[in-house]
Amino acid sequence: MSGRFITIEGGEGAGKSTAQAFIAGKLEQQGCSVVCTREPGGTPLAEAIRNTLLSLKGEAPVDMAELLLLFAARAQHLAKVIEPALARGQWVICDRFTDATFAYQGAARGLSCEAISSLESLVQGSRRPDAVVLMDLSPEIGIARARARGELDRFEQEDRAFYDRVRVGYLTRAEAQPARYSIVDASQPLDAVQRDLRHLIDQWTSHG
Ligand code: T5A
């Protein structure tokens, strides 16, 4: 079975990392070779950009600088990790990707979708995720989960209206492309979330 490029999206604390570990474990049990990675990040340079973007210290980037830094990290990550893994036939399970840019920098910060789409084509060529799992959760619960886990980063200091726009941005994209996106109700208890994820894994592997 050849690998697929799966991305996991959603607001703060929606359970993306937990879902990623679960999906990777199930695929590995089926004999798939899996690479787990994340954005921003995934290579030393891209992780350095992540640290800069998430930090509360120093000069905060203006919105356009934030957008360009995210795509700079993405270019490095694609070239060094994602494309080589897919070329080897591995599955790539990525915690956030370009849908996060449309939701955060587009819907929430208000940068133009056309500008983001242009950068998407420039940096990614025709590469798009084969499937996007949207962990949908109200920002209230997500931020409470993130807060319970520890200190909040720069993105986690935004106001409630920002996260509402992020959520609507994600849902709008998911509803426009139902073949590629699967929405998981992330407010459910973990075992119900994992049951839904198992259905998705079955779909992906039965079309392999
Ligand atoms: N960003 C990123 C952009 O603005 N543009 C971009 O293009 C990209 C790529 C960093 C930030 O970067 C921004 C958005 C982000 O703000 P991040 O660190 O990946 O991105 O984002 P966070 O959402 O902050 O990641 P978290 O690690 O906080 O959240 P997760 O991964 O969604 O949640 P997870 O799995 O760690 O779970 C959080 C807690 O909830 C529990 C877990 O055990 C954990 O304690 N939990 C549940 N509890 C109850 N029921 C369930 N069903 C649960 N599932 C998990």
Share of the chain above pLDDT 70, in %: 99
Ligand 1 atom at minimum distance from 53 CA: 12
Considering only the C-alpha atoms of the chain, give the largest distance between any 2 of them, rounded to a whole number of Å. Answer: 49
5-51, pLDDT tens digit by residue? 999 999 999 999 999 999 999 999 999 999 999 999 999 999 999 99
Residue ranges and CATH numbers for the domains of the chain are 5-206 (3.40.50.300)
**Which residue type is seen at 121?**
S
pLDDT value, residue 185: 98
Name the average pLDDT for the chain: 95
pLDDT value, residue 187: 97
Does 74 have pLDDT greater than 60?
A: yes
pLDDT value, residue 194: 98
Does 95 have pLDDT greater than 70?
A: yes
Hey, whose CA ends up nearest to atom 11 of ligand 1? 155
Hey, whose CA ends up nearest to atom 5 of ligand 1? 101
Question: What is the whole-number distance in angstroms between the Cα of residue 17 and the centre of ligand 1?
Answer: 6
Omega cis (within 30) before 40: yes
pLDDT value, residue 151: 80
Pocket test for ligand 1, best of 9, 155, 167 (most atoms within 8 A of CB): 155
pLDDT value, residue 153: 84
Does residue 46 contact residue 18 with C-beta atoms inside 8 Å?
A: no
Question: What is the whole-number distance in angstroms between the Cα of residue 57 and the centre of ligand 1?
Answer: 21
178-200, pLDDT tens digit by residue? 999 999 999 999 999 999 999 99
Question: What is the whole-number distance in angstroms between the Cα of residue 142 and the centre of ligand 1?
Answer: 8
Does 208 have pLDDT greater than 80?
A: no
The three-state DSSP-derived secondary structure of the chain is CCCCEEEEEECCCCCHHHHHHHHHHHHHHCCCCEEEEECCCCCHHHHHHHHHHHCCCCCCCCHHHHHHHHHHHHHHHHHHHHHHHHHCCCEEEEECCHHHHHHHHHHHCCCCHHHHHHHHHHHHCCCCCCEEEEEECCHHHHHHHHHHHCCCCCHHHCCHHHHHHHHHHHHHHHHHCCCCEEEEECCCCHHHHHHHHHHHHHHHHHCC
Share of the chain above pLDDT 90, in %: 88
Pocket of ligand 1 (CB under 6 A): 10, 12-18, 38-40, 54, 70, 95-96, 100-101, 104-105, 145-146, 149, 155, 186, 188-190, 193
pLDDT value, residue 157: 81
Hey, whose CA ends up nearest to atom 38 of ligand 1? 13
Q: What is the pTM of this model?
A: 0.96
Hey, whose CA ends up nearest to atom 8 of ligand 1? 100
